[in-house]
Structure 1
Amino acid sequence: MILTGPYFPESDRAELERTAGRRTDMRTLSFLPETAPLLERADQIVAMGGYNTVMEVLSYRKRALIVPRVSPGPSSWSGPRSSLNWATLTCCIPTS
């Protein structure tokens, strides 16, 4: 399952949907009013590193790759960053 979110670039979303359409093990969604059930069932998670998302991932004790938003500013990363000291998270900080 790939949950892109409402701000994912349309051209990239279209490419993901084409790829998913050719596979039986992949689905895409652009919006989900409540993500907790999806996170709870996930084996692994790749997510942007906003505070709420990181806290939800931690609450379910899932293996996760967190990619923080760095533009227009890294403010959403300041709180979750301290979580790396005690959680099983991997962080990939983009350069642009």
Structure 2
Amino acid sequence: MADVDGSGDWYAVRCIFVSRENHSPGSRRLEPGEAAYEERITLWHAASAEAAIAVAEAEAEEYADVVECEYTGLAQSYLCEDAPAQGSRSSR
């Protein structure tokens, strides 16, 4: 689970979603056989990359239900070297 006591690190987790015909997230309807992919990056305070991915994947399933798309199961984490702040950047 996400770290609630402040002792963990910040992780950005990238999840990929797919929409199939007639369920396009954009303004254009998808034709038969077409698919649209969405990349979504969320921030999590967690004890490890694995913990951040676990929380992000649970949230991704909820998001997919609301948006009527499918979570592909692809999640990648990135350790933020510093706590996120307005306009913060990474040297990587």
TM band (smaller chain) = under 0.3
Q: Which entry has the higher C-alpha Rg, 1 or 2?
A: 2
Q: TM-score, normalised by structure 2?
A: 0.25
Which gives a bigger RCO, structure 1 or 2 (Cα 8 Å, sep 6+)? 2
User: Quick check: which one's helix share is greater?
Assistant: 1
